Homo-oligomer: A and B are copies of this chain.
Amino acid sequence: MTEIELLRKVRARMGPGSLIGDDCARIEGPRRGHELLVTTDLFLENTHFLRSTHSAADVGHKVLARGLSDIAAMGGTPLYCFLSLSLPQWADASWVRRFYDGLLALAARHKTRLAGGDLAHGETLAADIVVVGEVPLRAALGRGGARAGDAIYVSGVLGGASEGLKSGKGPGFARLRRPEPRIALGQYLRGKATSCMDLSDGLAIDLHRLCLESKVAAVVDHPLPASPGASLEQALHGGDDYELLFTAPPRRRVPEVWRGLPLTRIGSIVAGRAGKMTFFGRALPPLGYDHFQNS
């Protein structure tokens, strides 16, 4: 298969009016009164996934889900995605087809258009997804807005992906392979949450990052909504759940369940050394998945 042949196949999947014929894609700017959001997310074989746990369609789904989850964390609406793909020898035409099946099914559900990308042969599978979205001006959520006194919430359940990686079955394993970006929830939280981010590397390390950006400390003193079968350790430090972590002023009424998704208060933001965290009175170390912890 030549590059032109592969591009022709990919382009056919993208539908009429696709944008990959030229050196750049031309995209419409944000609507009036909106600004653009851009996120890039690398997904690497043996770093982020194993061929033994993720099917081709799982990999395609998860690559895009990770990017969409970043758009969700800012309260945005995804518009376009771009995929750069390094394909090793083992990734045959059938694998590539099923990979695009998984990616494009999720893209269709979120009305996100695959607008371009790049392809190359490499020694390992690497996928870099770019998602471009929009958000109303001055409405984007971020990590820097948490204030002392705010309540801390998480959506859904925690530790499922980590438990699923170990057990290889059940809802945790499904979550590991097919995380669900919380686009609608992120949009709902605009104007309500003071800060928001997605849980990609684990509650403790991600809450630490949010506290660093907001220059505040956190007290976690409510039971965590652990995924069925997940240990406390997995709920605190397991990555790959892609739920939203957010803060809201204490008087803001946050529903316990929103469109079937639990929203659970887990603690409070307090004044203190930026990034300091406690869990039921004890220091909580910012452990989780850190790509550079062991280097």
Contact A82 B40 (CB under 8 A): yes
Say whether A38 contacts B42, CB under 8 Å: no
B213 with A21: CB separation less than 8 A:
yes
Bound CA–CA A63/B46 (angstroms): 24
A residues 167-217 in Cβ contact with B at 8 Å? 197-198, 209, 212-213
Closest to A137 in B: B26
Judging by beta carbons under 8 Å apart, are B24 and A70 in contact? yes
List the B side residues contacting A76 at CB < 8 Å: 24
Q: Which of B39, B46, B86, B292 makes the CB contact (< 8 A) with A44? A: B86
- B residues in contact with A48, CB < 8 Å: 120
Which residues on B sit within 8 Å (CB–CB) of A73? 22-24
Using a CB-CB cutoff of 8 Å, which residues 236-295 of chain A contact chain B? 290-293, 295
Stretch at the interface among A101-109, A128-136, A149-157, A220-228: A128-136
Give every chain B residue within 8 A of A40 (Cβ-Cβ). 82-84, 116-118, 128, 130
Cβ–Cβ contact A74 & B24, under 8 A: yes
* Complex contacts, A230 vs chain B, CB 8 Å: none
Contact B39 A121 (CB under 8 A): no
A47 at the interface (CB under 8 A from B): yes
In the complex, besides A22-B197, A38-B116, A119-B291, 10 extra interface pairs with C-beta distance below 8 angstroms are A23-B74, A24-B73, A29-B34, A41-B84, A42-B126, A47-B120, A47-B122, A48-B120, A119-B292, A130-B130
A-B pairs, top 5 by smallest CB distance, nearest first, are A29-B29, A128-B128, A23-B73, A23-B70, A24-B37
